[in-house]
Structure 1
């Protein structure tokens, strides 16, 4: 455990740049899954490592050791390092847990408030009487596509259908869960925070492609997204869990829609395969190291407990 427990804490610094590079080389949908999976997996492994460090140090305290029926010193970590490392790890886990709970509560409160403002209607499309152009996908049961009268006036009928298809893609794909997972992962390890922006871009690109397929015209989808972005303003009342077609680097998204097969060409590159191998290796090493550290700690506890019978 002395060495393996630190690996899950260091691996994200290598895996995150690899994940971002690979996401740029993949089509939008697999890129979204890749980034969300990498963020969640690395967060779980790093949090588990902190928990093991905290437990190893706590078991050196007489009261905790008595609860575990330990009579011999636990040598999972050196004596000079065990207690300071455990105190630091416990503090980090507590801060992460508090941030996770606070974030979840904030998102749920914003979601309840937004749905309350829409009333009891259950139709997929909800139109708000607001002159400011805005549109977004509001998750829930059922999911709602929220659009203001200002946005309806800013777009042509065919462009509205493309915009609605984009927001529908967010609801069908449950993209808000991807973003929430990445945000919570960022609370567990600081390097994982940088995955949220590329993940949001991949999700918007995935919805763009869905809209283009739904209306059968990539140019129309690009025009609808561009005009909606030019017309809209940042909405303070929009929940953070809500995804909008006007979010992110819109010029890059429009350019991608007007280019017929950019993702397919880049996904075949040798660089993408190499980076993918690096990322998978990072995830496997992180998980294996966390498991090995847990096994070592368990073995050390058993050895310490076995001294009681002598």
Structure 2
């Protein structure tokens, strides 16, 4: 968990550096080696690491628009993910998805920029696993701003009715983009939503990887053993803006300094040292993680950009003529216009 967390933190710091190149002093979202938006999750690492530690490659994970820490904890290929973020043809989605639409079929990981979109997808994966008689589970990560979406409620309902092996994990960073949680949601504790659907719910009120690990252990075990879904909410803290370039004028002046004192990485370091892990071992892990990230970014930047004609590939087209003919024949047999 510690290695996943320090890798994710350094990865986001390096991405921030690369992203801001060419975008300053006047912020230009289209400039630089990573054009478009970039949502970073520094401060969220405990949730991804603590939950994914219990998962296998055949378990499905869906992430939100702030996905890198979760992808790293699930074991997504760092080189291919970085190439995707840089828009290169060797990326996970040939450079067409960008950082909010990562997909790795080898690790059963996907994410989406659409709020709460991962919930129905995870429920579908859980339903498929149950029907196939498998013991794999699905986990849907979402932000606290997504818990008022219809897709979230519908997913909770179907998961509970069908007793599906799925765990919903709300990452509560207090801000739904620029709106404080208490102005947009009627409950302080998002896990209370579980009561309305008759499923177990639990809030981890501290940004503590070990506490997340313990809660997720029970939830994943419950799902894997055929005992249905669970809703977890984890208190995390967003160290950066909602997106790179966010001026964050809505945040109190002292908030960033306050939440950095609650950083989950030093907290886990302290716990590991108290358990007898040597500082030299932690230093070695951190060095190895940094080298891995630097190598992934260097590799990605050397990869070729897609050819212009590839913009028309891997997208929806008019159906092949033989499909149209088959459909027309079927309709004629049914006497349907």
> Is TM more than 0.5 here?
no
Q: Mark the structure with the bigger radius of gyration.
A: 1
TM-score normalised to structure 2 length:
0.28
From the two aligned structures, give the one with the greater helix fraction. 1
TM-score normalised to structure 1 length:
0.29
Larger RCO (alpha carbons 8 Å, 6+ apart): 1
